[in-house]
Amino acid sequence: MTTVTNSPATNSAPARQLDLSRHARHPLLEGPTPIQPLPRLSAEFGGVNIYVKRDDLNGLGGGGSKLRKLEFLVGEARAMGADTIITVGARQSNHARLTAAAAARLGLQCELVLTRAVPRDEPEYLENGNVLLDELLGARVHDLPGTANALAFAQERADALRAQGRKVYVCPLGGSSPVGCLGYAACAAEIMTQAHAQGLSFSRIVVPNGSGGMQAGLAAGFAALGIDPGLVMAYTVLAKAEQAHATTVEKANQTLALIDPALHIDGRSIVIEKTQLGEGYGIPTDAMREAVRLMASKEGLLLDPVYGGKAFAGLVQAARSGRHAPGENILFIMTGGLPGLFAYRSAF
């Protein structure tokens, strides 16, 4: 087994190609999402060159990064002959919304098990944003208290439906199973192709870490391509950094095993910072609010308050503190989640 360790990050030509053709996949994207420069923010940060990969631009269901995972998840569900898909999340889950959209596109029944895990009881949080769209997309929503075990409820519900003759596929939190993470392994190859086409070399790719699937998938994809997975740095927005790290390392290696079982990612290559979590998942911070306003007022782009807002706040802090040098190219992945802004009106 070859271990991929934390050598200096580079965007040199991949040593290997990424072949995911043996894994079931159903297309949900319109094609590669663009990489765009942010010139006004780059000037704001003293010449640190900030770029964004616009995963918010995917059209289905309001767009967002979770569609990459869902291409493989619904691909697996269809291969199994499923007629129903169930997933879990918080009340304003972007993954739940996009699962409902993918199910609608494919003609599958969809049930969402949503918990009130975030301590917000404003009407716009409980009924607007993603929740409004879940219902428009035809999903059946199960509203559970924050202390509930959503996945256990989903499995019990799946068993009940199977007893009625239904074929049910259950997605985990955030779609972050090893199969789902393949979506971001594919994204790693997409980034490399675009970077070479644009003559760019990124010293860091910045992402949020919630259920860990985005960072795990990117790390697995880069490792499979022969590129240091430490190129990706995340800010945890859900779990404590130690727990997020352990979960992400495990998922990255499980995903890599689906691609090339001879490879292994050393835990030192998974970089996760804790500085933007604040009081917990979905709880606003002043840094997040400033980052959302900064991106909007300088570049006309809209970040969500739960994932992208906190991760971009980390990038802002790093750029202002001199951790990134003038002329350095940083890529931030915009994950989408725009409906969440409307659910967090009072926070702004």
Is 90 exceeded by the pLDDT of residue 12? no
Strands 35-37 and 49-54: antiparallel
The answer to whether the CB of 190 falls within 8 A of the CB of 72 is no
Cα(336)–Cα(131) distance, integer angstroms: 16
Is 90 exceeded by the pLDDT of residue 13? no
Compute the half-sphere exposure of residue 36: CA atoms within 13 Å on the CB side of its CA.
14
Q: Cβ atoms within 10 A of the Cβ of 80, count?
A: 11
pLDDT category of residue 16 using cuts at 50, 70 and 90: confident
The H or E element that residue 235 is part of is strand 232-236
For the chain, give the number of residues.
348
pLDDT of residue 17: 85
Is 60 exceeded by the pLDDT of residue 209? yes
Cβ burial, residue 110 (10 Å; 0-12/13-18/19+): buried
Domain 67-175 in the same topology as domain 2-63+177-347: yes
What DSSP character marks residue 84? E
The answer to whether the CB of 72 falls within 8 A of the CB of 220 is no
Catalytic residue positions, numbered: 93
Does the reported pTM lie above 0.85? yes
Cα(292)–Cα(305) distance, integer angstroms: 7
Residues 6+ apart with CB under 8 A from 149: none
The answer to whether the CB of 272 falls within 8 A of the CB of 237 is no
Query: Can you read off the two tokens belonging to residue 1?
Result: 């087994």
Q: What is the pLDDT of residues 229-276, one digit of tens each?
A: 999 999 999 999 999 999 999 999 999 999 999 999 999 999 999 999
Domain residue ranges of the chain, discontinuous segments joined by +? 2-63+177-347, 67-175
The residue among 295, 291, 213 whose CA lies nearest residue 250 is 213
- Mean pLDDT calculated for residue range 24-42: 97
May I ask the CATH class of domain 2-63+177-347? alpha beta
Cα(234)–Cα(267) distance, integer angstroms: 14
CA angle 214–217–223, rounded 5-degree value: 135
Q: What is the pLDDT of residues 121-168, one digit of tens each?
A: 999 999 999 999 999 999 999 999 999 999 999 999 999 999 999 999
The residue among 247, 246, 306, 298 whose CA lies nearest residue 277 is 306
pLDDT of residue 270: 98
pLDDT of residue 10: 43
CA dihedral 249, 253, 259, 262 (to 10 degrees): 140
Residues 6+ apart with CB under 8 A from 256: 219, 220, 223, 224, 263, 264, 265
The answer to whether the CB of 144 falls within 8 A of the CB of 113 is yes
- Considering the segment(s) 67-175 as one domain, its CATH architecture is 3-Layer(aba) Sandwich (3.40)
pLDDT of residue 15: 62
